[in-house]
Homo-oligomer: A and B are copies of this chain.
Amino acid sequence: MFGKNYILPQEARSLLFSSFSKPELAFHKLPIEECYNRVLAENIIASEDLPGFSRSTVDGYAVRSADTFGAKDTMPAYLSIKNEVFMGEPASFEISKGEAAKIPTGGMLPKGADAVLMLENAQAVSVDMIEAMKSVAPNENVILAGEDIQKGTQVLSKGRRLRAQDIGALAGLGITQVNVYRKPVVAIISTGDEILPASSVLQPGQVRDINSFTLTGLINDNGGIPVKKGIIKDEYDLIKKTLSDALESSDIVIVSGGTSAGVKDMTAAIINELGNPGVLFHGVAVKPGKPVIGAFIGNKPVIGLPGHPAATAVSFDMFVRPLLEVLCGLHKNKISKNFAYAKIKKSIASVAGREDHVRVALELEGDELYAVPVLGKSGLITTLVKADGVVVIPEGKLGIDAGEDVKVKLF
């Protein structure tokens, strides 16, 4: 099934990455409101403590913990109410031995106090006296100044994709603008004499452009800016001109379709003509997706993706996404969290020497998560529509038995 020109996926990935040197990435300063899901281009060091003062985590009484030692219901400690802490105001008084001050959740701990007695563990004896019915340990019910973030520590590092809570932390530190990397531009060139725009009425032999729509979503989801370069007829000069233009204005170029025998040599020849090192591989032992082209023109990746819709998405994930992540400035993560563990519902056979990417739908039965194979030829977009992710059967494995644990790469 696979001729001598097909290489293993792992080899293809190594070829691609060993030929690629990460370029100097451009970045710009943006207000944090615009930085959700953007990639940080600088390390963030706290220039102050968070919180800036010791705070109560409960409603109660600021106390000297030593004054409450041994206190219980049957033998309370008596404390005189010295004062009250108000929200948002400095506690400008001091607590001495035998004294307490009323304090709300989030209020500033006054000098002298080192813990807070919860309201429900105190009983008023008079207007200025309480019984502490429980002992509190030093620092109990208190967040110390700098306990969340200490001045001088690195809070977030370069290459992190900023999530909701990360932006919250920046706001808490008073950092209202940060440097983020510019989003890489990914050009999509759709090729094929049979491809028409989505709005077209078709004649026999013609199909509508599906892949540029799928790719647009995948590029967006992975932090890039998709730019469609149109549907180009399978003519040498047209493809060459479009590819040449796309190289000028984008960081990655995807040529969708045009990788099958009919025109594949043409696409490869054009790439090789446009610059070095040119085509690194053409054909990968993977199903679906074998006619993938991996190439560089200078240091710019040009990836030829197969025209079959399901193959497009799988090959994007294998070859384009990793490059896109580097160009987004993403720090090489130890793990991609975008997967789930499940049991495979049916046995699946695979062919040795080929990496199979089996599309699966996830189903929860009780507490057990199952991956149900979605069967269908790689040309079918519905296999992707029904699937939640992909299970990879490595080239050395002859299949998966029903009930086996599998790792599902989620879409």
Residue ranges of A at the interface with B (Cβ–Cβ < 8 Å) = 3, 32-33, 36, 50-53, 55, 57, 59, 85-91, 104-108, 119-120, 143, 147-149, 155-156, 163-176, 192-195, 198-218, 220-221, 234, 260-262, 307-309, 313, 334-335, 337, 339-341, 362-364, 367, 369, 377-382, 384-385, 388, 407, 410-411
Nearest-neighbour CB distance to chain B for A39, whole angstroms, equals: 15
Best-surrounded residue of A32, A50, A106, A202 (most CB of chain B within 10 A): A106
**A59, B262: Cβ atoms closer than 8 Å:** yes
**B164, A221: Cβ atoms closer than 8 Å:** yes
**A176, B149: Cβ atoms closer than 8 Å:** no
**A381, B307: Cβ atoms closer than 8 Å:** no
A212 to B207, CA, bound (A): 48
A167 to B59, CA, bound (A): 52
* Chain B residue with Cβ nearest A233: B88
* Chain B residue with Cβ nearest A57: B379
How many identical chains are in the complex? 2
Known: A174-B198, A194-B88. A261 touches B165 (CB 8 A): no
A340 to B336, CA, bound (A): 12
**B169, A381: Cβ atoms closer than 8 Å:** yes
Known: A203-B90, A334-B363, A363-B334. A213 touches B51 (CB 8 A): no
**A36, B217: Cβ atoms closer than 8 Å:** yes
Contacts of A334 in B (CB 8 A): 363-364
Can you spell out 7 A-B residue pairs with CB atoms less than 8 angstroms apart? A3-B120, A36-B220, A59-B260, A167-B214, A172-B198, A172-B207, A174-B200
Nearest-neighbour CB distance to chain B for A190, whole angstroms, equals: 11
* Chain B residue with Cβ nearest A48: B202
**B208, A174: Cβ atoms closer than 8 Å:** yes
Contacts of A313 in B (CB 8 A): 164-165
Give the top 4 A-B pairs by smallest Cβ distance, nearest first: A164-B217, A88-B194, A168-B214, A104-B262
Known: A55-B379, A87-B262, A172-B309. A341 touches B364 (CB 8 A): no
* Chain B residue with Cβ nearest A90: B204
In addition to A89-B193, A108-B205, A335-B369, 15 A-B residue pairs with Cβ atoms within 8 Å of each other are A33-B216, A36-B217, A57-B308, A85-B205, A87-B192, A87-B234, A91-B205, A119-B261, A148-B382, A149-B381, A156-B385, A164-B220, A166-B385, A171-B198, A174-B201
A192 to B106, CA, bound (A): 10
**B143, A217: Cβ atoms closer than 8 Å:** no
* Chain B residue with Cβ nearest A312: B168
**A168, B210: Cβ atoms closer than 8 Å:** yes
Nearest-neighbour CB distance to chain B for A193, whole angstroms, equals: 4
Best-surrounded residue of A32, A210, A216 (most CB of chain B within 10 A): A210
**A148, B206: Cβ atoms closer than 8 Å:** no
A164 to B171, CA, bound (A): 33
A164 to B108, CA, bound (A): 50
Best-surrounded residue of A32, A50, A147, A381 (most CB of chain B within 10 A): A381
A171 to B212, CA, bound (A): 9
Best-surrounded residue of A51, A120, A168, A313 (most CB of chain B within 10 A): A168
* Chain B residue with Cβ nearest A164: B217
**A143, B381: Cβ atoms closer than 8 Å:** no
Contacts of A168 in B (CB 8 A): 210-211, 213-214, 217, 309, 381, 384
A194 to B90, CA, bound (A): 10
* Chain B residue with Cβ nearest A173: B208
Contacts of A337 in B (CB 8 A): 340, 362, 388, 410
* Chain B residue with Cβ nearest A384: B165
Contacts of A201 in B (CB 8 A): 174
Nearest-neighbour CB distance to chain B for A289, whole angstroms, equals: 13
**B262, A105: Cβ atoms closer than 8 Å:** yes
A299 to B206, CA, bound (A): 51
Partner of A364, one of B107, B335, B362, B384: B335
